[in-house]
Structure 1
Amino acid sequence: MATMRSFLDLLLHLVLLPALVCGVDLPTPVNEEVLGLVVFKAALQDPTAALASWNEADATPCNWDHVRCDPATSRVVRLVLDSLSLSGPLPRGLDRLPELAALSLANNNLSGPIPSGLSLLPALRSLDLSRNSFSGALPDDIALLPSLVALDLSSNAISGPLPESLFSAATCRSLRFLSLAGNRLEGPLPASLSRCSLLLHLNLSDNKLSGSPDFKSGLWSLFRLRVLDLSHNAFGGAVPNGVEYLHTLKKLRLNGNRFSGTIPAGVGLCLHLNSLDLSYNLFEGALPSSMRYLKSLNSLSLSNNQLSSEIPTWIGNLTAIQHMDLSNNKLTGILPASLGGLKELNYLSLSKNQLTGSIPDTIAGCTKLTELHLKKNQLNGCIPQGLFNIGLKVLDLSSNELTGAMPAGSTWISETLQSVDLSDNKLTGTIPPEMALFFGLRYLNLSWNNLRTQLPPELGLFRNLSVLDLRSSALYGPIPGDLCESGSLYLLQLDDNSLTGPIPEEIANCSSLYLLSLSHNNLNGSIPASMSQLRKLEILNLELNNLSGEIPQQLGTMDNLLAVNISHNQLIGRLPIGGVFQSLDQSALQGNLGLCTPLVMEPCKMNVPKPLVLDPDAYIPGISSSAPAMTNPAMPTRRRRFLSVSSIIAISAALIIILGVLVVTLLNVSTRRRIGLLKNGLESMCSSSTRSAGPAVGRMVLFDPKSSLRTEELEDEAEDLLSKATELGKGVFGTAYRTAVAGEGRILVIKKLSTANIVQYHEDFDREVRILGKVAHPNLMQLRGYYWTPQLQLLITDYTPHGSLHSRLHDRAESVPPLSWPDRFKIAIGTAKGLVHLHQAFRPSIIHYNLKPSNILLDEDCQPKISDFGLAKLLQKLDKHVISSRFQSAMGYMAPELACQSLRVNEKCDVYGYGVLMLELVTGKKPVEYGEDDVLILIDHVRVMLEQGNVLDCVDASMGEFPEEEVLPVLKLGLVCASQIPSSRPSMAEVVQILQVIKAPL
């Protein structure tokens, strides 16, 4: 800083020296504060020109934007530059502002370490550098700010331990507010923290701090504290009594740690406490009875602990409570009737406990209640009528033992109720027709009950219903034709009931459906052709019904359809041409003895009328078609025989085939001419290696005869195609090179396969590669052709200029922006859809075996394209030893069964690799990272953080803001996909379904 001051003095001297030499009148001396702020501005990037008014020609900065001066002294006292999109490191120059009392640079893009020198601002009382990208350790001289009252460095990337010097006597003499939340600080709390006895607000949440804090002589001695937030760290141990000394405490957050033992009894003596969050810890025992005195408490969260005993009746004394969450504990006993006294309560969750008895009628007295969650207990009895009359938005009573009928409710609820889950109970009776008045309802789940009723036609009047789940509910009768009158349903599940009659033609009104499941019923009749109008449908399940007739050919035009199951019906005839129907496996078709497909080993049946044969005598002059035939042999008979319709069709077909053969022959001649140059060049490249073994016989094959690719238009000479200059990179199966197509500006990729263990017979190679050439999907890299000799095999694909997912996550240049959450979600669901196509569109399925970010290529819209799929089929012998040796580069992505000969390898190994890829997408970390002293296994790391309640700390900070309601389930889904047990992993079609639900939350 002294060097900088000398530089500024020299600059000022050089400005004034010419005037002194020439004897001219000197201008007014440059204001040092102006000079300091100009230097400060010059080092910043200001894309919005927010500091355009900062003019070095001004005599004072007091009229500049974002600058405030003391009217008496005209000195700068306040500099507020929040949310101006400023970037770059924190500049120097502020030391020229000796009376600066408040400095705020919050919510910008500033980066690099926080420089030393801030201690040269003796009057600084408030320093706010929050919500930037500062990194490195805390500078030591912050502790030398004698007047500092408020310090906010939250939401940065500051790392290292908390220095003891931060809480020096000089700093703590004035410090009232301290927030270091949302950084990467680690290690224990320094003992010197107890010196800051005047602290009012202490927030150290969302870091990596650990150890057992000194509560008795440390934190509990900060008796002026109003806010104490240590949430989402790695603290552990018991929390001793003594919190009662914090008489002014209003907010206590210790959630997301590893604290154990009982909740300290003294917490109930903090009479001003209005927010208490101890969730996601290891607390046990009962709620301390002293908590009954917390008359000001409006938020209580004790979820995800090991609390036991009954819910005390004094819970009704917390009359100010608005949010109460005691879910996922071991609470027993009945729900106390005193809950009805909580008149301000708007959120109550007691899910996942061991509660018994009935739901008290008094709970209807909570007139401000909007969400009630009681799922996964052992509650019995009837649902109180009053619950449907208090303005609830979300009601979840699933997985209990509730009986009786579903209450009808009143019309008032039609404006509030959005989600109802009563599944997995013992409810009986009809679905109340009054439910049609619930115009705000989006989610209705009554599955796994014993309703024994028909579907009320009024269900079609739901205006906004998105999910209707009535599986296994003993329903009977027909499916109402107006069930989809609103057109808002995107998930309809009526499986495992006793529904009869046909599938209504009006099913086409369900225009938003992406999942339709009607399996395990008694539906009959044919599949309606109108179902083809469901253009968004992705999953169709009609198995185990009595459906008959032919499958409408129109269903083959449903491009979004990914999974179909029509097994165990009475369907006959050909499968629809196109779409997913040409790639269904036997399990999706079995039980239909009349289908015309090799997968059903029974004679097929067709609803085709017999061919019409014309009467040969119909056109004989003088003979009517209705007259009897002439039998006199002496009479000569003149007859003109006409061909039957079937003969005419056969002859026409033969002519068409002959014409097609001629066209194909001409195209082949043209294609051979086009590819001759490249073929000769490629053959010349391997000539030296084939002289001893005889002449090489090469062949070039392009899969798209209509392609505009001309081999003579390749800009590079054939011998230069595989040069180092055009090399893109090396992979498991070989090396990729790029080349350009002249006149088109189009780039292609030529992949030279490693010949070790590759099939050596052209017929085998051609058969496998042609299968890959038929793969056509937006999320799969299209194979354009190949070149083959016994010594050289090349594959031709398109080129993606935006590189791979690996490069965007781990090798990103500074000029390339990080992937946002919408882009990452797009990549996740696109990759899943591509894998579904590989697994379901071909029999046997195409298994990738080597799924990882380097094989996920991105186009200009961040749409993923999976490459290198199916190449494992080109190996001469695909056993587990070969896989293990060839896929060492996929460390961390390989499913464990690939190394175990006793386990069957199937599509689930791709699901494992996909799960790891999802975790990598969200966290930005590689599956295996090596530190100086340890190795980080991504799957284990995320699982541990999830168990501790800190899983959102794993999220890649570079992607900025993200919706927790999407990121958290995606992380959980990634862990499920990466299960060690193959049977525990979902199929890729199920993964797509789950991701659709995550993206369109209820």
Structure 2
Amino acid sequence: MLVNLLFLLLLVPFHVKSSDPTTFNDDVLGLIVFKAGLLDPKDKLTSWNEEDDSPCNWVGVQCDPKTNRVIQLTLEGFSLSGHINRGLSRLQSIQVLSLSNNNFTGNINSDLARFWSLQVIDFSENNLSGSIPDDLFRQCGSLRVISFANNNLTGQIPDSLSYCSSLVSVNFSSNQLTGNLPSGIWFLRGLQSLDLSNNSLDGEILEGIANLYDLRAVKLRKNSFSGHIPEDIGGCSLLKMVDFSENSLSGSLPVSLQRLNSCTSLSLQGNSFTGEVPEWIGKLGNLESLDLSSNIFSGRIPFSVGNLLSLKELNVSMNQFSGGLPDSITNCVNLLAIDVSKNRLTGNLPPWIFKRGLQSVSLSGNRLSGSIPHPSSLKQVGGGLEALDLSSNALFGEIPSNIGVLSSLVVFNMSRNHLFGSIPASVGELKSTQVVDLSENWLNGSIPSAIGGAVSLNELRLESNFLSGKIPTSIQNCSSLTSLILSHNNLTGSVPTGIANLSKLQYVDLSLNHFSGSLPKELTNLSHLVSFNISHNHLQGELPVGGFFNAISFSSVSGNPSLCGSVVNRTCPAVHPKPIVLNPNSSDTSGGSPNHHRKKVLSISALIAIGAAAFIAIGVIAISVLNIHARSSMSRAAAALALSGGEDYSCSPAKDPNYGKLVMFSGDAEFVAGSEALLNKDCEIGRGGFGVVYRTVLQDGRSVAIKKLSVSGLIKSQEEFEREMKKLGKIRHHNLVILEGYYWTPSLQLLISEYISDGSLYKHLHDGTSKYCVSWRQRFNIILGMAKGLAHLHRMNVIHYNLKSTNVLIDSSGEPKVGDFSLARLLPMLDRCILSSKIQSALGYMAPEFACRTVKITEKCDVYGFGILVLEVVTGKRPVEYMEDDVVVLCDMVRGALEDGRVEECVDGRLRGNFPADEAIPVIKLGLICASQVPSNRPDMEEVVNILELIQCPLEGREELV
């Protein structure tokens, strides 16, 4: 009844003069009615009592000491809800009405227009809806500050706003307002702050802003404004903050901007501005924050940025800036954060990146090269750096060994570069680091056990490297881990049980490694798991049962043939007791005879072995019978080869026998032209350090190449020769020349291999008669094919020993095939003098350890030769070029160009720039690594293949480079 009475009183015309003491109750009545329509969950308004004569002592109420009328109502953050009702219309003397940060709903009451004395209206951070009443600003002569920010208001900004000539601050941000900017807004000459950000306003920002002489801040962020920045904006000489970010503005920066000498923050992020950033940007000497990110700016980052001595934040990310980072940035002594990510910047990593005071550095997504500064320079950084993102560049070298000095680092991202070497143990000293991302590099070695010291880690990403060894058990110390991504490596061992203690884990990817053993059953305790991928490993046994693993996908566990469980549709074997094994040598305590014991032992295993041996024997006999005719006829043919038109061998220790031994690993053994014509000069197709090569045709139509060895006096015995040939004859790979067979006598040895039609790589690169230039795509495929072929050889424990471009042949489809592998093993021993004399044409390809008798010859010798071949293919130059007055060593020349930042100039000029630099430069760097003087610094060929496949850019959307 009391509330209803109060509402009725509010409807009675107000006739009493303000000087009458009875008017004191009008403010009380108005506020009590206002309270009656509210919910007050925190009882903030308990002091509001309708029996009081005056509200001046109530919470949130302030009165004029002379008149005792309410002049200020401030209820910020009281958690009030309900409508703003007409009760407030009784407060005729109110000057400040602030109801911000509550839960008021409903529309804005136009009765507020009656308040002639109202100076501040703040309804921000509520849930008000509807449009802003046009009548609200009809009688607003005293209004100085108005804020409806962070509500749900719709419609347009009323044109009547321009009537409020006393306005100093307007904030309608974070609503759903639409339409154009009212043209009359530029007539509010006293306006100091305008914030219309986070709405859906559109149209152009018209000129006239220069009329706002006192304007200090203009924020139009996150709207749909189009067109250009007003040309006269420089007339607002007091502007300190300009935020036009996330609109659809375009064009270049207006020249008048350079007159904003007082500006401390300029944000134009997320528009479509084009052209170069002018050098006059350096005249804005008071700038503390400059954000030009997410536009289409091009050219170089202005050198004059170094004049911005007050600059604390610089963000020019996601543009098309090119060239290097200006060294003048070292003058910005107050700089705390720099973000130049996702541009086209080149050059080396500037040393000033690690200057004292920087807190955040992001250079990701550029084309920066060079190595990370020497560890000693990192000492200057101290503990200030919190975020370091150098990802997606072409950075080279090793991670600094003392990276742990960056004690405040929270984010550490060096992914998608060409970093090699091991992960430094000092990474465990990063106690505050939450993200470590070193994925998609060339890192090797093991994950250091010290990683457990990084106790704040949330995310550890090491995928797509060449890491080996086991997951360190210390990983369980990283109790905050939510993501553990180690896929695409060479990790081994079992999955540590300690991972089950990482209770916050959500994402785990251990796929494409060499993990073995069974999965710990305790993994079912990981209650937050979203993904757990262990596919393509060597895991075995039963999958954990329970929790996440009851619904794990098949793709997450596939590629583990020995795993069992319902997910892989493979029943786990029942557990049986171990069988009793009878020892035939033990005494017979049961009274049985010894023969009886032997029968029990041999009953299964012996029968299987005997059966297998019988089967093999039958197969050998059958094959021998089938080959008798071929062998006898070919032996006679091959004997004739030795006596027909071939070269004499002065070093032959004995006379040739009448018949030698011919072995063909597959196919027909009859020659079309007859044995007498095989070694004719007319059939000769090449010569090398180990002999002369002829071409002939077999009866089945296949062309073959016959190499007549010129090292007969040094060849091993027939038994060892044949053993080596049979080993090589079993090697089959798409990128290796196939050995078809061989012929043996003490004074003549022939190797029969497949014939490759298009000649050698040397001819394609250096033969002046070649009618076409090898395209970049063809060159890359040749490099990748050679790498795959050599990797297969090394898997078969075969070393080539004699890599050079004349020993790489190109077939009709452009595929490379590596030939003449392991011929040096035919010699009685790897005498380096003999070997080097036989492969003198390999000058420039030979690893330095050939000159040192104390260093073992390993597969790393082939890796060195491959590295030189890579440089030869990319540059089109020979390993050693003899000039008139100089000798140019290819490896040294390319390394010097890399150090000088001219590495792109090394690419074969015949390509005329038609090559992707993001492939060519990493390939050159890979070639230099492979050609390292120290064998242990060279990667394995398996690693080389993986690296090349990572380097290879997708062909999608790219025109073929010719």
Q: TM-score range by the shorter chain?
A: 0.5 to 0.7
Residues 461-860 of structure 1: pairs in structure 2 closer than 5 A:
461-529=453-521, 531=523, 534=526, 536-548=528-540, 550-551=541-542, 554-555=544-545, 562-563=552-553, 565-571=556-562, 574-575=564-565, 582-584=566-568, 595-596=570-571, 608-609=576-577, 626-628=590-592
Q: Which residue pairs with 2:57 in the alignment?
A: 63
SS in 2 for 1:202: strand
- In structure 2, relative to structure 1, the CA distance for the partners of 1:241 and 1:508 (3 Å cut) is same
Q: Which residue pairs with 2:279 in the alignment?
A: 289
Q: CA deviation at 1:13?
A: 11
* Contact 1:539 1:563 survives alignment (8 Å): no
1:241 aligns with 2:218: no
**How many angstroms apart in 2 are the aligned matches of 1:228 and 1:288?**
22
- Among residues 114, 130, 137, which one is paired with 2:124 in the alignment? 130
* Contact 2:279 2:303 survives alignment (8 Å): no
Residues 73-472 of structure 1: pairs in structure 2 closer than 5 A:
73-143=67-137, 144-168=139-163, 171-172=164-165, 174-215=166-207, 217=208, 219-365=209-355, 367-385=356-374, 386=377, 389-390=381-382, 391-409=384-402, 411-414=404-407, 416-472=408-464
* Contact 1:187 1:209 survives alignment (8 Å): yes
Q: CA deviation at 1:153?
A: 1.5
Q: CA deviation at 1:412?
A: 4.0
The residue type equivalent to 1:122 in the other structure is W
- In structure 2, relative to structure 1, the CA distance for the partners of 1:195 and 1:490 (3 Å cut) is closer
* Contact 1:118 1:141 survives alignment (8 Å): no
More off after superposition, 468-477 vs 26-35: 26-35
Q: Which residue pairs with 1:947 in the alignment?
A: none
SS in 1 for 2:128: strand
Q: CA deviation at 1:202?
A: 0.9
* Contact 1:158 1:185 survives alignment (8 Å): yes
Q: CA deviation at 1:147?
A: 0.9
**TM-score, normalised with respect to structure 1:** 0.54
**How many angstroms apart in 2 are the aligned matches of 1:484 and 1:53?**
56
Q: CA deviation at 1:533?
A: 5.6
Task: Note the alpha carbon deviations across 1:53-86, whole angstroms, 9 max, x for none.
Answer: 2233322222222211111222221111222222
Task: Note the alpha carbon deviations across 1:181-200, whole angstroms, 9 max, x for none.
Answer: 11221111122112211111
* Contact 2:558 2:568 survives alignment (8 Å): no
Task: Note the alpha carbon deviations across 1:453-480, whole angstroms, 9 max, x for none.
Answer: 2222222332122322212211223333
The residue type equivalent to 2:393 in the other structure is N
**How many angstroms apart in 1 are the aligned matches of 2:547 and 2:580?**
31
Q: CA deviation at 1:233?
A: 0.9
**How many angstroms apart in 2 are the aligned matches of 1:225 and 1:39?**
40
Q: CA deviation at 1:491?
A: 2.4
- In structure 2, relative to structure 1, the CA distance for the partners of 1:164 and 1:446 (3 Å cut) is same
SS in 2 for 1:68: strand
Q: In angstroms, what is the RMSD of aligned CA positions?
A: 3.2
**How many angstroms apart in 1 are the aligned matches of 2:149 and 2:590?**
100
- In structure 2, relative to structure 1, the CA distance for the partners of 1:502 and 1:102 (3 Å cut) is closer
Q: CA deviation at 1:205?
A: 1.1
| Consecutive unaligned residues in structure 1, runs of 5 or more | 16-25, 576-581, 586-594, 598-604, 615-623, 630-1002
**How many angstroms apart in 2 are the aligned matches of 1:613 and 1:355?**
72
| Consecutive unaligned residues in structure 2, runs of 5 or more | 583-587, 594-962
**How many angstroms apart in 1 are the aligned matches of 2:144 and 2:547?**
68
**How many angstroms apart in 2 are the aligned matches of 1:452 and 1:613?**
45
The residue type equivalent to 2:398 in the other structure is A
- In structure 2, relative to structure 1, the CA distance for the partners of 1:67 and 1:525 (3 Å cut) is closer
Q: CA deviation at 1:384?
A: 2.2
SS in 2 for 1:483: helix
The residue type equivalent to 1:46 in the other structure is D
- In structure 2, relative to structure 1, the CA distance for the partners of 1:228 and 1:486 (3 Å cut) is closer
**TM-score, normalised with respect to structure 2:** 0.56
- In structure 2, relative to structure 1, the CA distance for the partners of 1:568 and 1:167 (3 Å cut) is same
Q: CA deviation at 1:559?
A: 5.4
* Contact 2:278 2:302 survives alignment (8 Å): no
Q: CA deviation at 1:39?
A: 2.8
- In structure 2, relative to structure 1, the CA distance for the partners of 1:527 and 1:260 (3 Å cut) is same
* Contact 1:266 1:290 survives alignment (8 Å): no
The residue type equivalent to 1:258 in the other structure is S
* Contact 1:335 1:358 survives alignment (8 Å): no
Q: CA deviation at 1:338?
A: 1.7
- In structure 2, relative to structure 1, the CA distance for the partners of 1:404 and 1:51 (3 Å cut) is same
Q: CA deviation at 1:507?
A: 4.5
**How many angstroms apart in 2 are the aligned matches of 1:161 and 1:511?**
51
**How many angstroms apart in 1 are the aligned matches of 2:286 and 2:129?**
39
Q: CA deviation at 1:517?
A: 2.6
Q: CA deviation at 1:93?
A: 3.1
Q: CA deviation at 1:7?
A: 5.1
The percentage of counterpart residues that share the same residue type is 37
Q: CA deviation at 1:34?
A: 2.4
The residue type equivalent to 1:167 in the other structure is S
* Contact 2:486 2:510 survives alignment (8 Å): yes
- Kindly tell me the number of residue pairs found equivalent between the two proteins: 576
Task: Note the alpha carbon deviations across 1:753-780, whole angstroms, 9 max, x for none.
Answer: xxxxxxxxxxxxxxxxxxxxxxxxxxxx
* Contact 2:557 2:568 survives alignment (8 Å): no
**How many angstroms apart in 2 are the aligned matches of 1:10 and 1:303?**
57
Task: Note the alpha carbon deviations across 1:416-456, whole angstroms, 9 max, x for none.
Answer: 01221111110011211122111112211111111232222
Q: CA deviation at 1:606?
A: 6.5
More off after superposition, 186-195 vs 39-48: 39-48
SS in 2 for 1:40: helix
SS in 2 for 1:428: strand
Q: CA deviation at 1:628?
A: 4.4
- Among residues 35, 41, 61, which one is paired with 1:41 in the alignment? 35
Larger Rg: 2
**How many angstroms apart in 2 are the aligned matches of 1:98 and 1:29?**
11
Q: CA deviation at 1:251?
A: 0.6
**How many angstroms apart in 2 are the aligned matches of 1:504 and 1:93?**
69
- In structure 2, relative to structure 1, the CA distance for the partners of 1:492 and 1:139 (3 Å cut) is closer
Q: CA deviation at 1:356?
A: 0.5
* Contact 2:206 2:230 survives alignment (8 Å): no
* Contact 2:10 2:30 survives alignment (8 Å): no
